[in-house]
Structure 1
Amino acid sequence: MAEPGDARRLPTNLDVLASDVHSKVEFYKNAYMDCIGINNALHGVMEEKEKLQVEQKAVVQLAAEKDKLIAELNTQKDHLTTRNEEQAAEIESLKEQLSEWESSQALLALKGSGLQSTQSGKVYIRSKKKRQQHSDGSGEDADYQGLSTELEAAKNELSDIHSKLIKGFIDIRGRNIAIKNIGQLSNKPFLQACLKKLTPKEAPEKASELYNFWQKQLLNPDWKPSKTLMDEGISKEIDVHDVNLQELRASWGEEVYKAVVNCLMEIEECGRLTDRTIVPELWNFKENRKATCSECVEYIFIQVKRLNGSKGRKTRRQ
Protein backbone atom coordinates (compact mmCIF):
# COMPACT_ATOMS: atom_id res chain seq x y z
CA MET A 1 0.00 0.00 0.00
CA ALA A 2 1.40 3.37 -1.12
CA GLU A 3 2.14 5.97 1.36
CA PRO A 4 0.13 9.18 1.30
CA GLY A 5 3.37 11.13 0.76
CA ASP A 6 4.17 9.22 -2.41
CA ALA A 7 0.81 10.17 -3.88
CA ARG A 8 1.51 13.81 -3.27
CA ARG A 9 4.93 13.60 -5.04
CA LEU A 10 3.50 11.96 -8.20
CA PRO A 11 2.20 15.14 -9.93
CA THR A 12 5.54 16.78 -9.39
CA ASN A 13 7.39 13.90 -11.03
CA LEU A 14 4.97 13.96 -13.97
CA ASP A 15 5.59 17.68 -14.49
CA VAL A 16 9.37 17.09 -14.47
CA LEU A 17 8.97 14.23 -16.92
CA ALA A 18 6.74 16.30 -19.21
CA SER A 19 9.21 19.17 -19.14
CA ASP A 20 12.04 16.82 -19.97
CA VAL A 21 10.10 15.31 -22.86
CA HIS A 22 9.22 18.78 -24.15
CA SER A 23 12.88 19.84 -23.98
CA LYS A 24 13.97 16.80 -25.93
CA VAL A 25 11.24 17.38 -28.54
CA GLU A 26 12.39 20.97 -28.99
CA PHE A 27 16.01 19.79 -29.22
CA TYR A 28 15.24 17.28 -31.95
CA LYS A 29 13.01 19.78 -33.70
CA ASN A 30 15.82 22.37 -33.77
CA ALA A 31 18.29 19.68 -34.85
CA TYR A 32 15.94 18.73 -37.71
CA MET A 33 15.64 22.37 -38.81
CA ASP A 34 19.42 22.74 -38.65
CA CYS A 35 19.76 19.61 -40.78
CA ILE A 36 17.36 21.03 -43.37
CA GLY A 37 19.34 24.30 -43.40
CA ILE A 38 22.62 22.45 -43.87
CA ASN A 39 21.08 20.35 -46.65
CA ASN A 40 19.78 23.47 -48.42
CA ALA A 41 23.16 25.17 -48.08
CA LEU A 42 24.89 22.07 -49.42
CA HIS A 43 22.46 21.96 -52.35
CA GLY A 44 23.19 25.64 -53.08
CA VAL A 45 26.93 24.97 -52.99
CA MET A 46 26.50 22.09 -55.44
CA GLU A 47 24.45 24.28 -57.80
CA GLU A 48 27.07 27.02 -57.62
CA LYS A 49 29.77 24.44 -58.30
CA GLU A 50 27.90 23.19 -61.38
CA LYS A 51 27.39 26.77 -62.55
CA LEU A 52 31.11 27.50 -62.16
CA GLN A 53 31.95 24.32 -64.06
CA VAL A 54 29.65 25.37 -66.93
CA GLU A 55 31.22 28.84 -66.99
CA GLN A 56 34.70 27.33 -66.94
CA LYS A 57 33.77 25.05 -69.83
CA ALA A 58 32.42 28.06 -71.76
CA VAL A 59 35.65 29.98 -71.12
CA VAL A 60 37.70 27.04 -72.39
CA GLN A 61 35.47 26.79 -75.46
CA LEU A 62 35.77 30.52 -76.13
CA ALA A 63 39.53 30.30 -75.82
CA ALA A 64 39.56 27.42 -78.31
CA GLU A 65 37.35 29.38 -80.71
CA LYS A 66 39.61 32.41 -80.31
CA ASP A 67 42.66 30.31 -81.18
CA LYS A 68 40.80 28.88 -84.17
CA LEU A 69 39.83 32.37 -85.39
CA ILE A 70 43.40 33.60 -84.99
CA ALA A 71 44.63 30.61 -87.00
CA GLU A 72 42.03 31.31 -89.72
CA LEU A 73 42.99 35.00 -89.81
CA ASN A 74 46.65 34.09 -90.16
CA THR A 75 45.76 31.68 -92.97
CA GLN A 76 43.71 34.38 -94.71
CA LYS A 77 46.54 36.86 -94.24
CA ASP A 78 49.01 34.43 -95.80
CA HIS A 79 46.57 33.76 -98.64
CA LEU A 80 46.11 37.49 -99.20
CA THR A 81 49.86 38.02 -99.22
CA THR A 82 50.29 35.23 -101.77
CA ARG A 83 47.46 36.64 -103.87
CA ASN A 84 48.96 40.13 -103.77
CA GLU A 85 52.31 38.75 -104.85
CA GLU A 86 50.67 36.82 -107.68
CA GLN A 87 48.75 39.93 -108.77
CA ALA A 88 51.91 42.01 -108.67
CA ALA A 89 53.70 39.39 -110.78
CA GLU A 90 50.78 39.28 -113.21
CA ILE A 91 50.80 43.07 -113.47
CA GLU A 92 54.50 43.06 -114.25
CA SER A 93 53.87 40.37 -116.86
CA LEU A 94 51.08 42.44 -118.40
CA LYS A 95 53.31 45.51 -118.46
CA GLU A 96 56.01 43.52 -120.23
CA GLN A 97 53.48 42.23 -122.75
CA LEU A 98 52.23 45.76 -123.34
CA SER A 99 55.80 46.95 -123.80
CA GLU A 100 56.41 44.20 -126.36
CA TRP A 101 53.18 45.09 -128.12
CA GLU A 102 54.16 48.76 -128.25
CA SER A 103 57.51 47.71 -129.73
CA SER A 104 55.70 45.76 -132.43
CA GLN A 105 53.54 48.81 -133.11
CA ALA A 106 56.70 50.90 -133.44
CA LEU A 107 57.99 48.34 -135.93
CA LEU A 108 54.86 48.74 -138.02
CA ALA A 109 55.16 52.52 -137.89
CA LEU A 110 58.77 52.33 -139.11
CA LYS A 111 58.00 49.89 -141.94
CA GLY A 112 57.87 52.62 -144.58
CA SER A 113 61.27 53.99 -143.63
CA GLY A 114 63.00 50.59 -144.07
CA LEU A 115 63.63 49.92 -140.36
CA GLN A 116 63.36 46.53 -138.69
CA SER A 117 63.07 45.88 -134.94
CA THR A 118 65.04 43.04 -133.36
CA GLN A 119 63.83 41.04 -130.35
CA SER A 120 66.17 42.99 -128.08
CA GLY A 121 64.39 46.20 -129.03
CA LYS A 122 67.27 47.65 -131.08
CA VAL A 123 66.50 48.98 -134.56
CA TYR A 124 68.84 48.66 -137.52
CA ILE A 125 68.71 50.28 -140.95
CA ARG A 126 68.43 47.70 -143.66
CA SER A 127 71.31 47.91 -146.07
CA LYS A 128 71.01 49.03 -149.67
CA LYS A 129 72.45 45.69 -150.76
CA LYS A 130 69.60 43.81 -149.06
CA ARG A 131 67.03 46.03 -150.73
CA GLN A 132 68.66 45.28 -154.09
CA GLN A 133 68.47 41.54 -153.39
CA HIS A 134 64.72 41.89 -153.00
CA SER A 135 64.25 44.22 -155.97
CA ASP A 136 62.15 41.58 -157.71
CA GLY A 137 59.38 42.20 -155.16
CA SER A 138 59.47 38.81 -153.46
CA GLY A 139 61.45 40.18 -150.53
CA GLU A 140 58.96 43.00 -149.96
CA ASP A 141 56.09 40.52 -150.07
CA ALA A 142 57.85 38.37 -147.48
CA ASP A 143 58.49 41.42 -145.27
CA TYR A 144 54.86 42.51 -145.59
CA GLN A 145 53.64 39.02 -144.79
CA GLY A 146 55.93 38.87 -141.76
CA LEU A 147 54.71 42.24 -140.53
CA SER A 148 51.09 41.19 -141.07
CA THR A 149 51.72 38.06 -139.03
CA GLU A 150 53.33 40.11 -136.24
CA LEU A 151 50.43 42.56 -136.33
CA GLU A 152 47.88 39.75 -136.07
CA ALA A 153 49.82 38.19 -133.18
CA ALA A 154 50.00 41.58 -131.45
CA LYS A 155 46.24 42.07 -131.89
CA ASN A 156 45.52 38.62 -130.46
CA GLU A 157 47.85 39.25 -127.54
CA LEU A 158 46.26 42.62 -126.82
CA SER A 159 42.80 41.06 -127.03
CA ASP A 160 43.88 38.42 -124.51
CA ILE A 161 45.22 41.11 -122.17
CA HIS A 162 41.97 43.06 -122.59
CA SER A 163 39.89 39.99 -121.68
CA LYS A 164 42.01 39.26 -118.60
CA LEU A 165 41.73 42.87 -117.45
CA ILE A 166 37.94 42.78 -117.79
CA LYS A 167 37.81 39.58 -115.75
CA GLY A 168 40.08 41.09 -113.10
CA PHE A 169 38.17 44.38 -112.82
CA ILE A 170 34.88 42.52 -112.32
CA ASP A 171 36.37 41.31 -109.01
CA ILE A 172 38.26 44.53 -108.17
CA ARG A 173 35.35 46.97 -108.61
CA GLY A 174 37.43 50.11 -108.90
CA ARG A 175 36.19 53.69 -108.79
CA ASN A 176 37.94 55.81 -111.43
CA ILE A 177 38.48 52.80 -113.69
CA ALA A 178 35.94 49.98 -113.54
CA ILE A 179 33.61 47.82 -115.59
CA LYS A 180 30.77 49.49 -117.45
CA ASN A 181 28.07 47.39 -119.11
CA ILE A 182 27.84 48.94 -122.56
CA GLY A 183 24.27 49.00 -123.83
CA GLN A 184 22.64 48.88 -120.39
CA LEU A 185 20.51 51.83 -119.31
CA SER A 186 20.13 53.13 -115.78
CA ASN A 187 16.62 53.17 -114.32
CA LYS A 188 17.36 56.28 -112.25
CA PRO A 189 16.69 59.04 -114.86
CA PHE A 190 13.40 57.37 -115.84
CA LEU A 191 12.22 57.26 -112.23
CA GLN A 192 13.23 60.88 -111.62
CA ALA A 193 11.38 62.02 -114.76
CA CYS A 194 8.24 60.11 -113.78
CA LEU A 195 8.29 61.49 -110.22
CA LYS A 196 8.09 65.00 -111.70
CA LYS A 197 4.84 64.21 -113.54
CA LEU A 198 3.18 61.38 -111.63
CA THR A 199 2.32 60.50 -108.06
CA PRO A 200 4.88 58.56 -105.99
CA LYS A 201 2.62 55.52 -106.28
CA GLU A 202 2.31 55.68 -110.09
CA ALA A 203 5.86 56.78 -110.91
CA PRO A 204 7.78 53.50 -110.30
CA GLU A 205 5.48 51.44 -112.53
CA LYS A 206 5.63 53.97 -115.39
CA ALA A 207 9.40 54.34 -114.99
CA SER A 208 9.82 50.57 -115.24
CA GLU A 209 7.63 50.51 -118.37
CA LEU A 210 9.65 53.27 -120.06
CA TYR A 211 12.96 51.73 -119.01
CA ASN A 212 12.05 48.29 -120.39
CA PHE A 213 10.84 49.79 -123.69
CA TRP A 214 14.00 51.84 -124.30
CA GLN A 215 16.28 49.05 -123.16
CA LYS A 216 14.69 46.80 -125.78
CA GLN A 217 15.02 49.59 -128.36
CA LEU A 218 18.73 49.94 -127.67
CA LEU A 219 19.26 46.20 -128.07
CA ASN A 220 17.19 46.06 -131.27
CA PRO A 221 19.52 46.00 -134.33
CA ASP A 222 16.63 47.15 -136.55
CA TRP A 223 16.43 50.48 -134.72
CA LYS A 224 19.14 52.58 -136.33
CA PRO A 225 18.85 56.25 -135.39
CA SER A 226 22.01 57.09 -137.33
CA LYS A 227 22.80 59.38 -140.23
CA THR A 228 24.00 57.83 -143.47
CA LEU A 229 27.58 58.92 -142.87
CA MET A 230 29.45 55.63 -143.23
CA ASP A 231 33.07 54.63 -142.80
CA GLU A 232 33.89 51.02 -143.70
CA GLY A 233 30.27 50.07 -143.10
CA ILE A 234 30.09 51.62 -139.61
CA SER A 235 27.78 54.55 -138.80
CA LYS A 236 29.73 57.42 -137.32
CA GLU A 237 27.05 59.76 -136.03
CA ILE A 238 23.82 59.41 -134.05
CA ASP A 239 20.77 61.14 -135.52
CA VAL A 240 19.51 63.14 -132.56
CA HIS A 241 16.48 64.19 -134.63
CA ASP A 242 15.15 60.63 -134.73
CA VAL A 243 11.36 60.68 -134.26
CA ASN A 244 11.37 58.27 -131.32
CA LEU A 245 14.11 60.19 -129.54
CA GLN A 246 12.36 63.52 -130.06
CA GLU A 247 9.08 62.11 -128.70
CA LEU A 248 10.94 60.83 -125.65
CA ARG A 249 12.52 64.24 -125.16
CA ALA A 250 9.22 66.11 -125.49
CA SER A 251 7.30 63.76 -123.20
CA TRP A 252 9.77 63.04 -120.43
CA GLY A 253 12.49 65.66 -120.55
CA GLU A 254 16.16 66.19 -121.28
CA GLU A 255 17.71 63.82 -118.74
CA VAL A 256 15.93 60.71 -120.02
CA TYR A 257 16.69 61.73 -123.61
CA LYS A 258 20.39 62.20 -122.80
CA ALA A 259 20.54 58.85 -121.00
CA VAL A 260 19.31 57.01 -124.11
CA VAL A 261 21.47 59.03 -126.55
CA ASN A 262 24.62 58.63 -124.42
CA CYS A 263 24.03 54.88 -124.13
CA LEU A 264 23.57 54.68 -127.91
CA MET A 265 26.78 56.64 -128.50
CA GLU A 266 28.67 54.32 -126.16
CA ILE A 267 27.38 51.35 -128.16
CA GLU A 268 28.63 53.06 -131.33
CA GLU A 269 32.00 53.92 -129.78
CA CYS A 270 32.51 50.27 -128.85
CA GLY A 271 31.50 49.13 -132.33
CA ARG A 272 28.35 47.31 -131.18
CA LEU A 273 25.74 48.95 -133.45
CA THR A 274 25.39 45.80 -135.53
CA ASP A 275 25.57 43.48 -132.52
CA ARG A 276 23.24 44.97 -129.92
CA THR A 277 24.25 42.99 -126.87
CA ILE A 278 25.19 44.22 -123.41
CA VAL A 279 28.93 43.72 -123.02
CA PRO A 280 31.33 44.59 -120.16
CA GLU A 281 33.94 47.17 -121.07
CA LEU A 282 36.85 48.79 -119.25
CA TRP A 283 35.72 52.36 -118.58
CA ASN A 284 37.42 55.51 -117.34
CA PHE A 285 34.61 57.00 -115.24
CA LYS A 286 36.66 60.06 -114.37
CA GLU A 287 36.91 61.08 -118.04
CA ASN A 288 33.77 59.20 -119.19
CA ARG A 289 35.42 57.17 -121.96
CA LYS A 290 36.85 53.73 -122.69
CA ALA A 291 39.94 52.99 -120.61
CA THR A 292 43.13 51.87 -122.31
CA CYS A 293 44.92 48.68 -121.27
CA SER A 294 47.89 50.75 -120.08
CA GLU A 295 45.62 52.82 -117.80
CA CYS A 296 44.08 49.67 -116.33
CA VAL A 297 47.43 48.03 -115.63
CA GLU A 298 48.75 51.21 -114.02
CA TYR A 299 45.57 51.54 -111.93
CA ILE A 300 45.89 47.94 -110.66
CA PHE A 301 49.56 48.51 -109.87
CA ILE A 302 48.70 51.60 -107.79
CA GLN A 303 45.94 49.73 -105.91
CA VAL A 304 48.27 46.83 -105.09
CA LYS A 305 50.90 49.25 -103.77
CA ARG A 306 48.28 50.95 -101.58
CA LEU A 307 47.04 47.59 -100.29
CA ASN A 308 50.55 46.45 -99.44
CA GLY A 309 51.25 49.77 -97.72
CA SER A 310 48.05 49.51 -95.68
CA LYS A 311 48.90 45.94 -94.73
CA GLY A 312 52.37 47.00 -93.63
CA ARG A 313 50.94 49.72 -91.37
CA LYS A 314 48.51 47.25 -89.76
CA THR A 315 51.32 44.76 -89.16
CA ARG A 316 53.45 47.42 -87.45
CA ARG A 317 50.52 48.44 -85.21
CA GLN A 318 50.02 44.83 -84.16
Structure 2
Amino acid sequence: MFVQLQATQGFPGQTIGRAHIGIRMIGELDLKAFSNVCRQKFPKDDAEVESVKLCSKWQNEISNPNWHPFAVATVNGKESEVIREDDKKLQELKEEYGEEAYAAVTTALTELNEHTISGSRVPFPEMWNHKEGRKANRKEIVQHVIQLSMVSK
Protein backbone atom coordinates (compact mmCIF):
# COMPACT_ATOMS: atom_id res chain seq x y z
CA MET A 1 0.00 0.00 0.00
CA PHE A 2 2.92 2.39 0.70
CA VAL A 3 3.97 2.29 -2.95
CA GLN A 4 0.41 3.07 -4.02
CA LEU A 5 0.29 6.05 -1.68
CA GLN A 6 3.59 7.36 -3.03
CA ALA A 7 2.23 7.16 -6.56
CA THR A 8 -0.56 9.58 -5.65
CA GLN A 9 1.41 11.97 -3.43
CA GLY A 10 1.04 14.76 -5.97
CA PHE A 11 -2.73 14.37 -5.81
CA PRO A 12 -3.71 14.18 -2.12
CA GLY A 13 -7.46 13.99 -1.82
CA GLN A 14 -7.82 15.11 -5.42
CA THR A 15 -10.56 13.67 -7.54
CA ILE A 16 -11.40 14.10 -11.18
CA GLY A 17 -14.78 14.10 -12.83
CA ARG A 18 -16.89 11.50 -11.06
CA ALA A 19 -13.91 9.86 -9.31
CA HIS A 20 -14.39 9.13 -5.65
CA ILE A 21 -10.99 7.77 -4.61
CA GLY A 22 -8.73 9.89 -2.46
CA ILE A 23 -6.50 9.93 0.57
CA ARG A 24 -8.16 9.97 3.98
CA MET A 25 -6.35 10.29 7.27
CA ILE A 26 -7.54 7.41 9.43
CA GLY A 27 -7.98 8.50 13.04
CA GLU A 28 -7.77 12.22 12.34
CA LEU A 29 -10.43 14.29 14.03
CA ASP A 30 -12.99 16.09 11.92
CA LEU A 31 -12.45 19.80 12.57
CA LYS A 32 -15.94 20.51 11.24
CA ALA A 33 -17.50 18.80 14.25
CA PHE A 34 -15.57 21.08 16.62
CA SER A 35 -16.29 24.15 14.48
CA ASN A 36 -20.03 23.47 14.68
CA VAL A 37 -19.90 23.15 18.46
CA CYS A 38 -17.72 26.21 18.96
CA ARG A 39 -19.94 28.40 16.74
CA GLN A 40 -22.74 27.71 19.22
CA LYS A 41 -20.64 28.23 22.38
CA PHE A 42 -18.38 31.17 21.52
CA PRO A 43 -18.66 34.60 19.90
CA LYS A 44 -18.21 34.51 16.12
CA ASP A 45 -14.72 36.06 16.28
CA ASP A 46 -13.48 33.43 18.75
CA ALA A 47 -15.22 30.32 17.45
CA GLU A 48 -12.68 29.35 14.78
CA VAL A 49 -9.67 29.70 17.09
CA GLU A 50 -11.44 27.81 19.88
CA SER A 51 -12.44 24.99 17.53
CA VAL A 52 -8.84 24.53 16.40
CA LYS A 53 -7.62 24.53 20.02
CA LEU A 54 -10.28 22.02 21.06
CA CYS A 55 -9.65 19.75 18.09
CA SER A 56 -5.89 19.84 18.71
CA LYS A 57 -6.39 19.09 22.41
CA TRP A 58 -8.49 16.03 21.62
CA GLN A 59 -6.15 14.82 18.87
CA ASN A 60 -3.40 14.88 21.51
CA GLU A 61 -5.64 12.99 23.95
CA ILE A 62 -6.30 10.32 21.32
CA SER A 63 -2.55 9.93 20.71
CA ASN A 64 -1.80 9.53 24.43
CA PRO A 65 -0.78 5.86 24.93
CA ASN A 66 -1.62 6.08 28.65
CA TRP A 67 -5.30 6.68 27.93
CA HIS A 68 -7.20 3.52 27.06
CA PRO A 69 -10.94 4.21 26.93
CA PHE A 70 -11.77 0.72 25.69
CA ALA A 71 -13.33 -2.33 27.26
CA VAL A 72 -13.42 -5.87 25.91
CA ALA A 73 -16.91 -6.97 24.90
CA THR A 74 -18.40 -9.83 22.95
CA VAL A 75 -19.94 -8.59 19.72
CA ASN A 76 -21.56 -11.16 17.40
CA GLY A 77 -19.86 -13.96 19.30
CA LYS A 78 -16.41 -12.40 18.90
CA GLU A 79 -14.40 -10.53 21.52
CA SER A 80 -13.51 -6.99 20.51
CA GLU A 81 -12.67 -3.68 22.10
CA VAL A 82 -15.43 -1.08 22.36
CA ILE A 83 -15.50 2.45 23.76
CA ARG A 84 -16.18 2.46 27.50
CA GLU A 85 -19.33 4.43 28.20
CA ASP A 86 -18.03 5.27 31.70
CA ASP A 87 -14.72 6.84 30.57
CA LYS A 88 -14.41 10.08 32.53
CA LYS A 89 -12.71 12.13 29.78
CA LEU A 90 -15.28 11.12 27.19
CA GLN A 91 -18.17 11.80 29.55
CA GLU A 92 -16.82 15.29 30.26
CA LEU A 93 -16.39 15.95 26.54
CA LYS A 94 -19.96 14.87 25.83
CA GLU A 95 -21.39 16.95 28.69
CA GLU A 96 -19.45 20.10 27.82
CA TYR A 97 -19.40 19.99 24.01
CA GLY A 98 -22.20 17.62 23.04
CA GLU A 99 -22.81 14.58 20.92
CA GLU A 100 -21.12 15.82 17.73
CA ALA A 101 -17.72 16.38 19.37
CA TYR A 102 -18.08 13.12 21.32
CA ALA A 103 -18.87 11.22 18.11
CA ALA A 104 -15.87 12.72 16.32
CA VAL A 105 -13.50 11.60 19.09
CA THR A 106 -14.98 8.14 19.52
CA THR A 107 -14.98 7.59 15.75
CA ALA A 108 -11.29 8.52 15.51
CA LEU A 109 -10.44 6.31 18.50
CA THR A 110 -12.35 3.36 17.07
CA GLU A 111 -10.78 3.73 13.61
CA LEU A 112 -7.27 3.78 15.02
CA ASN A 113 -8.00 0.87 17.33
CA GLU A 114 -9.39 -1.21 14.44
CA HIS A 115 -6.80 -0.31 11.80
CA THR A 116 -3.49 -0.45 13.69
CA ILE A 117 -1.77 -3.58 14.86
CA SER A 118 0.96 -1.90 16.89
CA GLY A 119 -1.46 -0.08 19.20
CA SER A 120 -0.18 3.26 17.95
CA ARG A 121 -2.87 5.92 17.85
CA VAL A 122 -1.33 8.29 15.35
CA PRO A 123 -3.41 9.18 12.27
CA PHE A 124 -2.16 7.69 9.02
CA PRO A 125 -3.07 8.04 5.34
CA GLU A 126 -5.24 5.46 3.62
CA MET A 127 -6.58 5.33 0.09
CA TRP A 128 -10.31 5.71 0.56
CA ASN A 129 -13.45 5.19 -1.50
CA HIS A 130 -15.37 8.29 -0.39
CA LYS A 131 -18.52 7.33 -2.27
CA GLU A 132 -18.85 4.03 -0.40
CA GLY A 133 -17.23 5.10 2.90
CA ARG A 134 -14.58 2.37 2.97
CA LYS A 135 -10.95 1.59 2.23
CA ALA A 136 -10.32 1.58 -1.52
CA ASN A 137 -9.32 -1.74 -3.02
CA ARG A 138 -6.23 -2.15 -5.23
CA LYS A 139 -8.19 -2.18 -8.46
CA GLU A 140 -9.87 1.13 -7.61
CA ILE A 141 -6.54 2.67 -6.64
CA VAL A 142 -4.83 1.59 -9.86
CA GLN A 143 -7.74 2.87 -11.95
CA HIS A 144 -7.66 6.19 -10.11
CA VAL A 145 -3.89 6.61 -10.58
CA ILE A 146 -4.26 5.85 -14.31
CA GLN A 147 -7.05 8.43 -14.60
CA LEU A 148 -4.94 11.03 -12.79
CA SER A 149 -1.91 10.36 -14.99
CA MET A 150 -4.04 10.77 -18.11
CA VAL A 151 -5.41 14.11 -16.88
CA SER A 152 -1.97 15.46 -15.97
CA LYS A 153 -0.59 14.90 -19.51
CA distance in 2: counterparts of 1:198 and 1:304, whole angstroms? 42
TM-score (norm 2): 0.78
Is the CA contact 1:180–1:281 (under 8 Å) kept in the aligned structure 2? yes
Match of 2:33 in 1: 189
More helix by share: 1
1:295 equivalent in alignment to 2:140: yes
SS in 2 for 1:287: coil
Shift of 1:286: 1.5
Match of 1:254 in 2: 99
CA distance in 2: counterparts of 1:280 and 1:263, whole angstroms? 13
Amino acid at match of 1:252: Y
Match of 2:65 in 1: 221
What do residues 194-253 of structure 1 show as CA deviations (whole Å, max 9, x unaligned)? 1112211332333233112101111111111111249xxx95323344222222122112
Bigger relative contact order (CA 8 A; separation at least 6)? 2
CA distance in 2: counterparts of 1:165 and 1:240, whole angstroms? 38
Match of 2:4 in 1: 165
Equivalent residue in structure 2 for 1:242, among 84, 87, 92: 87
TM-score (norm 1): 0.40
Is the CA contact 1:267–1:273 (under 8 Å) kept in the aligned structure 2? no
Q: 1:242 to 1:287 in 2, by over 3 A?
A: farther
Q: 1:206 to 1:304 in 2, by over 3 A?
A: closer
Shift of 1:256: 1.2
Shift of 1:273: 6.7
Is the CA contact 1:218–1:264 (under 8 Å) kept in the aligned structure 2? yes
Amino acid at match of 1:220: N
Q: 1:171 to 1:227 in 2, by over 3 A?
A: same
CA distance in 1: counterparts of 2:128 and 2:53, whole angstroms? 28
Is the CA contact 2:112–2:122 (under 8 Å) kept in the aligned structure 1? no
CA distance in 1: counterparts of 2:81 and 2:140, whole angstroms? 26
CA distance in 2: counterparts of 1:273 and 1:251, whole angstroms? 32
Q: 1:196 to 1:212 in 2, by over 3 A?
A: same
SS in 1 for 2:37: helix
CA distance in 2: counterparts of 1:290 and 1:163, whole angstroms? 14
What do residues 135-185 of structure 1 show as CA deviations (whole Å, max 9, x unaligned)? xxxxxxxxxxxxxxxxxxxxxxxxxxx111111222223332111122322
SS in 2 for 1:257: helix
Is the CA contact 1:185–1:211 (under 8 Å) kept in the aligned structure 2? yes
CA distance in 2: counterparts of 1:269 and 1:281, whole angstroms? 13
Match of 1:307 in 2: 151
Identity of aligned residues (%): 33
Is the CA contact 1:177–1:296 (under 8 Å) kept in the aligned structure 2? yes
Amino acid at match of 2:52: S
CA distance in 2: counterparts of 1:287 and 1:268, whole angstroms? 21
CA distance in 2: counterparts of 1:282 and 1:270, whole angstroms? 13
Is the CA contact 1:225–1:242 (under 8 Å) kept in the aligned structure 2? yes
Equivalent residue in structure 1 for 2:129, among 272, 281, 284: 284
Q: CA RMSD in A?
A: 2.6
